């Protein structure tokens, strides 16, 4: 799938370091990235999701040649950034470097204790994921880590879309119950 010309120009301008292009990328893509992060991190407050978005876009700015430069147009830019967001959310640094975004888009860095708490939660989620049935785990990974729609994931797994949504719903409920039982997240 070729990259639409307007997105190609935007990406090229961002790769050259054009501040206005970065602002446009932020404004166009932040809502989608925030929705994906919110779906993956339901326990987080909206402020925390905004923090994760800010950290992701800061990382994109600083490492633009490797991350944004790797976008090949095999999916939409929004999908690509969503997958990058999910993959990077658990590996973002505890403190933020200086940002190219205006001060009204910046927040303070999380404390060391918050970072340690988040790392412990991520480890608990990974461990709890391994307790899911193989089909549940695969659906959760395809939908929440790869950014596929439940219908598309169902097609890949040769399941009826409705059946896949039921399995995914039950997997989410089971994950929530297991994590609450372990005291990782509030019930």
Considering the domain architecture, whether residues 91 and 137 belong to the same structural domain is answered as no
In a domain, 130, yes or no: yes
pLDDT at 29: 87
Are 146 and 83 in contact by the 8 Å Cβ rule? The answer is yes
Q: What averages of pLDDT result for each successive group of 10 residues across the chain (187 residues)?
A: 78 86 88 79 67 79 76 77 72 42 43 55 79 86 85 88 89 84 68
pLDDT at 108: 43
User: What are the tokens at 87?
Assistant: 């993959």
DSSP code, position 132: S
CATH number at residue 33: 1.10.1740.10
User: What are the tokens at 37?
Assistant: 């992060």
Cβ-based neighbours of 154, under 8 Å, separated by 6 or more: 160, 161, 163, 164, 165
Closest by Cα among 26, 53, 23 to 38: 53
DSSP code, position 65: T
User: What are the tokens at 186?
Assistant: 């509030």
Tell which of 43, 72, 105 closes a domain. Answer: 105
pLDDT at 62: 76
Tell which of 85, 105, 125 closes a domain. Answer: 105
CATH number at residue 162: 1.10.10.10
pLDDT at 14: 85
pLDDT at 140: 86
End-to-end, the C-alpha distance of the chain in Å comes to 43
Tell which of 105, 132, 165 closes a domain. Answer: 105
Q: Compute the distance between CA of residue 80 and CA of residue 84 in angstroms, rounded to an integer.
A: 6
pTM for this entry: 0.44
In a domain, 186, yes or no: no
Residues found in the chain: 187
Place of tokens 């633009």: 64
Q: 72 is in which domain, residue-wise?
A: 5-105
Query: How many structural domains does the chain have?
Result: 2
């Amino acid at each position: 799938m070729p990259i639409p010309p307007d997105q190609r120009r935007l990406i090229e301008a961002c790769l050259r370091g054009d501040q206005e292009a970065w602002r446009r990328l932020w404004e166009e893509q932040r809502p989608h990235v925030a929705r994906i992060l919110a779906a993956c991190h339901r326990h987080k407050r909206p402020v925390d999701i905004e923090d994760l978005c800010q950290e992701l876009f800061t990382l994109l700015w600083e490492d633009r040649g490797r991350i944004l430069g790797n976008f090949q147009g095999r999916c939409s830019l929004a999908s690509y950034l969503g997958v990058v967001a999910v993959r990077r959310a658990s590996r973002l640094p505890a403190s933020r470097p200086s940002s190219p975004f205006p001060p009204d888009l910046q927040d303070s860095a999380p404390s060391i204790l918050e970072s340690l708490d988040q790392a412990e939660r991520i480890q608990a989620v990974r461990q709890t994921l391994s307790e899911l049935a193989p089909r549940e785990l695969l659906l959760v990974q395809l939908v929440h880590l790869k950014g596929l729609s439940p219908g598309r994931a169902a097609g890949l797994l040769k399941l009826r879309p409705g059946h896949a949504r039921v399995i995914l719903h039950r997997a989410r409920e089971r994950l929530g119950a297991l994590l609450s039982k372990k005291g990782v997240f509030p019930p």
